[in-house]
Amino acid sequence: MRRFGSFHLAALVLGFAFLYLPIVALIAYSFNASRLVTVWGGFSTHWYVALFNNQPLLDAAWLTIRVALVSATLAAGLGTLAALALTRYRSFAGRTLFSGMVLAPLVMPEVITGLSLLLLFVAGDVERGYWTVVVAHATFSLGFACIVVQARLAGFDRSLEEAARDLGATPVTTFFTVTLPLIWPAVLAAWMLAFTLSLDDLVIASFTSGPGATTLPMRLYSAIRLGVSPEINAACTIMIGAVAVAVIAASLLLKREALAGEKG
């Protein structure tokens, strides 16, 4: 018998209090009228207005979104191909090296990934900026994308593909008309994961970006090093809000799809 007692309730309340109180405090102080973070000077949206007049910050945010869009698309595409190769083909030349390279970035410290990619760009005499950050982000999130798609492919009913092949479809047609539509939710989830990893990254972007390509985390980081300010709180609150909306919407969407799948 499963019993849910007061001990369990206490563990849940304390655990989630630890996880959420710091974020709640951060959000609350973004609405503080006073510049002194410790003094509550009344409710104000003053810092949000200041934020929208902070052009360097807005530029950094726009750059970060553009980097994340392109690198997530690259990572989802490459990760899907890698997942297909690894789940469908038990042996091909260099498979061990390949799976090692796909999975290594998952445990690789960001400082090492960043350093090694920077040294590559320097050795190749590549001018650092938008594209070097895109390539770096796509490379380190490829492994995460691959794992997400692999999980979906593991429970995949291959008889559907076989039917398409028996009916004369080429492998490429089969992939685009049967396989891809079926694994689409996983590809989308992989894309979202890669997108947030890219949005969030400070270390790898700091190594691989050049002058004129400062991402939002890089700008926030230098602002935070100067000290706490309500304006940073406001920027953080907007980011938390955007992520919360996206995650909740995605989970509702997946739930609806799962329900539709059960009915159909």
Partner 1 sequence: MSGPVPRAAGGRGLLVAAIPYLWLLAFFLAPFLIVLRIALSDAATDQPPYAPHFLGFDALGEFFAGLDFENFRLLGEDALYWQSYLSSLRIAGLTTLIALALGYPLAYAMAMAPKRWQGILLLLVILPFWTSFLIRVYAWIGILRPEGLLDMALGWLGLTAAPLRLLNTDTAVLIGMVYSYLPFMVLPLYTTLQKLDGTLVEAAADLGATPLTIFRTVTLPLSLPGILAGSALVFIPAIGEFVIPDLLGGPDTLMVGKVLWSEFFSNRDWPLASAVAIVLLIVLVLPLVLLQRAGRAAR
Question: Pick from 200, 195, 187: which is nearest to 78 by CA?
Answer: 187
Beta strand ranges found along 62-117 (DSSP E): none
How deeply is 208 buried, as exposed, middle or buried, from its count of CB atoms within 10 A (0-12, 13-18, 19+)?
buried
CB of 35 to partner 1, least distance (A): 14
How deeply is 10 buried, as exposed, middle or buried, from its count of CB atoms within 10 A (0-12, 13-18, 19+)?
exposed
Nearer to partner 1, 69 or 108 (CB): 108
Nearer to partner 1, 95 or 256 (CB): 95
CB of 98 to partner 1, least distance (A): 6
Question: Pick from 74, 114, 86, 108: which is nearest to 194 by CA?
Answer: 74
Nearer to partner 1, 35 or 88 (CB): 88
CB of 28 to partner 1, least distance (A): 10
Nearer to partner 1, 45 or 251 (CB): 251
CB of 254 to partner 1, least distance (A): 11
Nearer to partner 1, 49 or 119 (CB): 119
Angle at 147 between CA 215 and CA 197, to 5 degrees: 15
CB of 146 to partner 1, least distance (A): 8
The helix-helix angle for 230-263 and 180-200 (nearest 10°) equals 170
Nearer to partner 1, 63 or 136 (CB): 136
Angle at 243 between CA 241 and CA 248, to 5 degrees: 95
CB of 46 to partner 1, least distance (A): 18
Cα 83 to Cα 74, 147, 176, 182, 230: the distances in Å are 14, 7, 16, 14, 44
Q: Which residues are within 8 A (CB) of 130 and not within 5 positions of it... i.e. 6 or more apart?
A: 63, 66, 67, 209, 213
